[in-house]
Amino acid sequence: MVNVAILGFGTVGSGVAEVLTGHEDSISRKVDDFVRLKYILDVRDFPDSPYAGCFVKDFSVIESDPEVDVVVETIGGATVALDFTRRALKAGKSVVTSNKELVAEYGYELLMLAKEYNVNYLFEASVGGGIPIIHPLSQCLAANNILEIYGILNGTTNYILTRMIRAGLSFDTALKEAQERGYAERDPSADTEGHDACRKICILAAIAFGRHIYPRQVPTEGITRITLADVDYADAAGRKIKLLGRAIRQEDGRICAYVAPHLVNNENPLAGVEDVFNGITVRGDAIGDVMFYGRGAGKLPTASAVVADVIDAAKHIGSRKLMDWAPGGEDTTRSPDTLRSRWYVRASCTNDMMRAMLGDVLPLARRGAAENEAACITADEMTRTQLGIRLQNIPVLSVIRVLD
Amino acid sequence: MVNVAILGFGTVGSGVAEVLTGHEDSISRKVDDFVRLKYILDVRDFPDSPYAGCFVKDFSVIESDPEVDVVVETIGGATVALDFTRRALKAGKSVVTSNKELVAEYGYELLMLAKEYNVNYLFEASVGGGIPIIHPLSQCLAANNILEIYGILNGTTNYILTRMIRAGLSFDTALKEAQERGYAERDPSADTEGHDACRKICILAAIAFGRHIYPRQVPTEGITRITLADVDYADAAGRKIKLLGRAIRQEDGRICAYVAPHLVNNENPLAGVEDVFNGITVRGDAIGDVMFYGRGAGKLPTASAVVADVIDAAKHIGSRKLMDWAPGGEDTTRSPDTLRSRWYVRASCTNDMMRAMLGDVLPLARRGAAENEAACITADEMTRTQLGIRLQNIPVLSVIRVLD
C-alpha cells in the first residue's frame, strides 16, 4: 500500500483527490500496489466532501505518520509550502508539487534535500499544466544537447493576445473578459507582467542546461504595453505577437534567459497556439525541434500531471529518479541585450526617417494608421543595445523582438 | 560499465553510433555509469569507419558475450530482426528498437519474453521518429483514461500532401519530388498506401488501450486517390487533407482503429503540421488534448529516441519498466464503418442532386471545376454505411471523412 497526503484543498488539490480516487484501479495497476489517499491538509472544514474522513489541520500528523509515502504540495507560494516541503522530505517522504514559485526559487535546495534523504522531489505540473514536458525533457531527450527551449508558458496572457488578434479587443477589454471567464486573477499582474512565465522558464532552463537559474536573473517583460496597432502590423507581416519565455545556451556556456513578447512567424507551430493553450518548443542537437502542446492550466489537466508524478514516486519508493542540477550563481546567465535578432519597431515618424536610422527595413502598413506613424521590421539582426543606439533620435512607440 | 551492441549499420544504426559516442560524457553522467559501444553487427565491411574495431558479422558473438547489457536492433523487418530480438532477450539483454513492423506484429510476444527474462524491450523510436510519445503516453499520462489518439504518423505522405496543398502539384509530381529528395522510397507503397501509419497506430493503440492490435485488424487507406480538386475543395471549407492514423475507445471497450485521409479544420493544430513533420494528439479524460510535434523520421532524430531508450535501459538493468499490454484477439477492434462523422463528398452531379440525396449540406466551390461536378460537406453525422446507402445512385468521385 502506498499512502498519499495532499497539502491544500484548493483547485489543484481537489483535482488531485478527484483523479487519484477516480482512477484508483488503473493507478494501482500501474504502480503494482494499492495507492490510497490518506490525508488532506487544509485549515478549512469540508464536512460534505466525499473525502471528509481524510481531512487534518495539523501538518505534523502527516509528517509523523510513517505510513505516508508521498506528499502532494498544492499550497502555492514559498512560505508555508517551503516549510512543509522541507519537513516532508526530511521525514523520508517523496514530494510532488505544482508550485512553480517554490521550484523556481528553491528547486536546487529541495532536490539536494531529496537526494540526502533518498526520496524524490517531482514537479511535472509546475510547467505547462497537464502537458508532459519536465519528464520528456529530462528523460526522453537525454541523448541531446539542448540548444534552446522556448514557448508560450502562460495561458492567461495567451488568451488576452488571442482575443486582441482575433476579435480586435484592446488589452484592457481582453483582460476584463479573461477575468470574467476565470482565466485571470483580480490582480492579474503575475500573469500580465510575465512573472508566471519567468518562473516556468527558470525551471525549464535548469533541467535543460543543468544549473539553477533564479527568477531575478531573468529579465521579464509582460504584455501590458502591446497595442492593437502592433497586433495589426504583426498581422501585415504574417506574424502573431506571442509572449515567450526563452532560454538559449550561449557559446560560453552561459544561459540567455528572458521573458518578452515576440513576433512569431505564422509558419511556426507556436503561432497556432491560441486561447489558454500552452506550447513549448525544445531544440536539441540530434532531434531538431520538438513541440509539446496542450492546456497549460486548469484543475483536471494540472491534477493529471500531479498524479502522474505520484505514480512515478510510488514506483520509485526507496530508489531515486536521477533528476537534479547544479547550484546557480551570478555566472550562469547572460543578458538578452546581447542577443542578436531582427526587430519590429513602431514610431512617430515617417518611413523615410525609419530607413535613415535603421537602414534596409521591411515597411509595414495597417488600416487606420495615425498620420505620423511608421512601422517596420529591420532587415539586419542586431542586439537590443545596437538597436537602441540607432533609435535614439526617433520617438519610439513600440519595440518587439522578432523570432526567426 | 554498460556495454551496447548495435544490430544493423544502416541510416538509423549509424546515427545511433554517432549519438552514442558523440554524447558519451553526458550519457554516462545521466546513467551514472560508463556507456560503451562494444559491437556493431553488419554483413558488410566498413574498414574506414571510426567504429571499425566494433564490427562483427556473427550475432552469436553478441548473444554469448555476458558483458553486453543492451542490444539496439535497427535491422528492420520481421524475420532476422525477430530472431535476433528473441535471442537477445533470452540471453538476458534489454533490447531497444526503432522497428515498427516488429513491434506492431510481435510486440506482445516480445514484451512477455522481456518480462520472463527480467529485461526491458523499449521502442520509443518506432513511432514519431525523435518525438517523445511512447514514454509520455505510458508514463506521463498514466493518470488519464485515454479516450482517443490520432495523428499524422507518416512524414512522406504529409510531405506529398503539403506540396499538393501549397504548390498545387499533382499526387504523382509531388511523389516524384519526395523521391528525389530522399523522403520516399523507390517503391513508395508502404508510405502512400498507409501501411507505415497503420503499424504506428497499432503500437500507440496498444499502449493507450492496453491490448495488442494487429495491423490486419486496422482498415487502411492511403492517399493515392487524393486529387487536386479535393485539395481545393477542402481549402474552400477552411480545411486541409491529412492522412491520419486514429484509434478511439468505444463504449463497449472495443477499439475503433483505422488509417484514412481526413479533412482537418485549420484551427486544429494538426492542420499546421507540414512537410515531413509528424504530430500526434492524445485525448485523455483529465488532461483534454495534448499534442506532440516534431520530425517523424531522419537519422539523428530517430537515433536520439533510440539512445534515450538505451539510457533508460541502462538505468534499469536488473529491474523492469512497467510497460506491457494484454494479448490481442478478434474481439478487440470494431470497424470504422460504424463510426459516425460528417463527410466530404465529390461527385459527377449537380448540387441539387447532392442535396436530394444527402439532405442539408455545405456546398463547396472551386475555380476550374468541371461542369457536372459537385462537392459538399454533409451537415449530419452518419456512418460510412449510412452514407453509402444515400450515395448509391450518384456517380461518386471522392469520399473523405471530416474530423470535427
Mean pLDDT within A261-273: 94
Count Cα neighbours of A186 within 13 Å in the Cβ-side half-sphere. Answer: 0
Nearest by CB: A143 against B19, B285, B295:
B19
Q: Are A146 and A249 in contact (CB under 8 A)?
A: yes
Annotated catalytic, A115? no
Mean predicted confidence (pLDDT) in B192-207: 98
Catalytic residue among A100, A200, A242, A321: A200
DSSP class per residue in A26-77? HHHHHHTS-EEEEEEE-SS--TTSTTGGGEES-HHHHHT-TTEEEEEE---S
Contact B312, B121 (CB under 8 A): no
Question: Is B294 in CB contact (< 8 Å) with chain A?
Answer: yes
pLDDT-derived band at B395, boundaries 50, 70, 90: very high
The per-residue pLDDT for A17 is: 97
State whether A308 and B284 contact (CB < 8 Å).
no
State the Cα torsion B194-B195-B200-B201 to the nearest 10°: 60
Chain B closest CA to A203's CA: distance in Å? 18
pLDDT higher at A24 or B247: B247
B336: CB partners within 8 A, 6+ apart: B219, B246, B256, B257, B258, B260, B384
CA B305 → CA B19, B98, B134, B152, B297, distances in Å? 10, 8, 10, 18, 10
Segment A323-359, tens digit of pLDDT = 789 999 999 999 999 999 999 999 999 999 999 999 9
Q: What is the mean pLDDT of residues A157-186?
A: 95
DSSP class of residue A220 equals B
Residue B138 is classified by DSSP as I
Q: From the list A130, A136, A310, which residue is nearest B287 (CB)?
A: A130
Alpha-helical segments (H) within B11-63: 11-22, 24-31, 59-63
> So what's the ipTM on this one?
0.92
Residues B105-124: what's their mean pLDDT?
97
Residue type, A32: D
Q: How far is CA A314 from CA A36, A65, A93, in A?
A: 11, 17, 10
- Report whether pLDDT(A136) > 80: yes
Alpha helices by DSSP H, listed for A75-181, are 80-90, 100-116, 134-135, 155-167, 171-180
**Rg of the Cα atoms in chain B:** 23
A143: nearest CB among B293, B298, B311: B311
- What is the overall mean pLDDT for chain B? 95
Tens digit of each residue's pLDDT (9 = 90 or more) over B310-358? 999 999 888 877 678 999 999 999 999 999 999 999 999 999 999 999 9
Which of A139, A197, A150, A195 lies closest to A292 in space, CA to CA?
A: A150
Phi, psi for residue B155 in degrees, rounded to 5: -70, -35
Given this model, what pLDDT does residue B317 score? 87
pLDDT in tens, A367-383: 989 889 999 999 999 99
A130 touches chain B (CB under 8 A): yes
Is residue B247 a contact partner of residue B205, using CB atoms and an 8 Å limit? yes
The H-assigned helical ranges of A186-286 are 189-192, 195-209, 228-236
- State whether B290 and A27 contact (CB < 8 Å): no
The whole-number pLDDT of residue A320 equals 78
| Contact: B304, A291; criterion CB under 8 Å | no
For the segment B96-104, the average pLDDT, to the nearest whole number, is 97
How would you class A172 by CB atoms within 10 Å of its CB: exposed for 0-12, middle for 13-18, buried for 19 or more? exposed
Strand partners, B241: B263
The phi, psi pair for B371, rounded to 5°, reads: -60, -50
Q: What is the pLDDT of residue A117?
A: 96
B311 touches chain A (CB under 8 A): yes
Q: Which residues in chain B have Cβ-Cβ distances shorter than 8 Å to A288?
A: 130, 294-295, 298, 300-301
- Best residue of B2, B25, B127, B140 to probe chain A, by most A CBs closer than 10 Å: B140
pLDDT on residue B324: 83
Q: State whether the Cα torsion A31-A35-A40-A46 is positive or negative.
A: positive
Nearest to A346 by CA among A372, A315, A385, A312: A372
User: Per-residue confidence at B371, pLDDT binned at 50, 70, 90?
Assistant: confident
Contact criterion met (CB below 8 Å) for B290 and A126: no
Which of A304, A306, A312 to mutate to test binding with chain B, by most B CBs within 10 Å of its CB?
A304
